[in-house]
Amino acid sequence: MAAAQFDLRARLASSEPFLFSWMSVPSAALAAQVARLPLDGVCLDMQHGMIGFSDAVPMIAAINAAGRPAMVRALWNDPATPGQAFDAGAVAVISPMINSRAQAEALVRAAKYPPIGARSWGGYTALQASGLAAPDYLKAANRLTMVFAMIETVEALANLDDIAATPGLDGLFVGPSDLSITLSGGARVDKTGPQTLEAMARVAAAAQKNALVAGAFGGSAEAIKAFGKLGFTFLAAAVDVDLLHMGAASLRASLKA
């Protein structure tokens, strides 16, 4: 029997920050390498990355084989992606642009089996990844898989309390770039500006009040530190291509030293 699937929920219950890489390149060979970096997991970006579902399947398998949690940022809040990603062996889905309670409820419905939601059965790869027999997977799946609503607009901020109180939702995940764009009426991307941080503090408080995981896209050491100070613990550390650039820049710098 295969090893048990990574228990992301148990890991996130600790206050230790969880820093993960964010993949945009559709490559299982690269995912196998990225999963072995000194970070805690890998998220496949199906919204702004170049990763489609048939690319994601072998990438998720490669990440699971490395013993790290595989996560997916969906293209949109569609009813198919969460079940499909979990069926393929991912343990978390992060859904963009959740702006209302109704959208958050639709997300949970797509991601969870009854009685919480209406996920459809057919996770044959998930059975292998979890090492569980079908009846046990059905009992464990709503705990083994996590669903995050992205808060990244002024509209979402206005509905924050309702969204955060959605039954079955596991976490909030801030997209600070889109959030700063809507906060500035389209004037700027300012991930760590005062207006963004002030709004993010509200998101962290709503997560805490509703016992949700507080997550955010960091992308740089500066952002990770700033968001960590606000109480965010589930943080996208850096995009795959940026990690390559950082590695090369660090090599250049150490050759000069």
Contact 179, 153 (CB under 8 A): yes
Touching Mg ion, residues 140-169 (CB under 5 A): 152
Annotated catalytic residue 48: yes
Q: What tokens does 106 get?
A: 């639709």
List binders of ligand 3PY among 41-80 (CB under 6 A).
Answer: 48
The number of angstroms, rounded, from the C-alpha of 77 to the middle of its chain's C-alpha atoms is 13
d(CA 211, CA 209): 6
Q: How far is the CB of 22 from Mg ion (least distance, A)?
A: 12
- How far apart are the C-alpha atoms of 189 and 197, rounded to whole Å? 13
Binding mask 99-138 for Mg ion (x = CB under 5 A): ----------------------------------------
Nearest approach in angstroms of CB 39 to ligand 3PY is: 16
List 82, 83, 175, 218, residue binding ligand 3PY (CB under 6 A): 175
Q: Which is nearer to Mg ion, 40 or 152 (CB)?
A: 152
Q: How far apart are CA 110 and CA 113, in angstroms?
A: 8
- Provide the minimum distance between the beta carbon of 48 and Mg ion in the complex, in angstroms, as a whole number: 7
Task: Tell me which of Mg ion, ligand 3PY, none is bound by residue 117, counting a contact when its beta carbon lies within the kind-specific cut-off of 5 to 8 angstroms.
Answer: none
- Residue 178 makes contact with Mg ion by CB under 5 A: yes
- For ligand 3PY, the nearest residue by Cβ is 175
State yes or no: residue 175 binds Mg ion (CB under 5 A).
yes
Neighbours of 138 (CB within 10 A): 15
Residues 207, 201: contact at Cβ < 8 Å?
A: no
Return the number of the residue (113 or 234) whose C-beta is nearest ligand 3PY.
Answer: 234
What b-and-e string marks burial along 54-83, b requiring 16 or more CB atoms within 10 Å of the CB?
ebbbbbbbbbbbbebbbbbbbbebeeebbb
Per CB under 6 A, contacts with ligand 3PY among 205-234 are 217
Residues 222, 216: Cα–Cα separation, whole Å: 13
- Return the one option of Mg ion, ligand 3PY, none that residue 89 interacts with (CB less than 5 to 8 A, by type): none
Sign of the Cα pseudo-torsion (245, 50, 238, 44, in order): negative
Which window, 35-43, 118-126, 128-136, 172-180, contacts ligand 3PY (CB under 6 A)? Answer: 172-180
The H-assigned helical ranges of the chain are 8-12, 28-34, 53-65, 81-87, 101-111, 124-130, 134-144, 154-158, 160-164, 176-183, 194-209, 221-229, 240-256
Considering only 176, 196, 227, 233, the residue that binds ligand 3PY (CB under 6 A) is 176
Name the active-site residue from 48, 101, 109, 202.
48
| Residue 176's binding partner out of ligand 3PY, Mg ion, none, with CB under 5 to 8 Å set by partner kind | ligand 3PY
Instruction: Give the catalytic positions in this structure.
Output: 48
Contact residues: ligand 3PY, CB under 6 A: 48, 152, 175-178, 217
Contact residues: Mg ion, CB under 5 A: 152, 175, 178
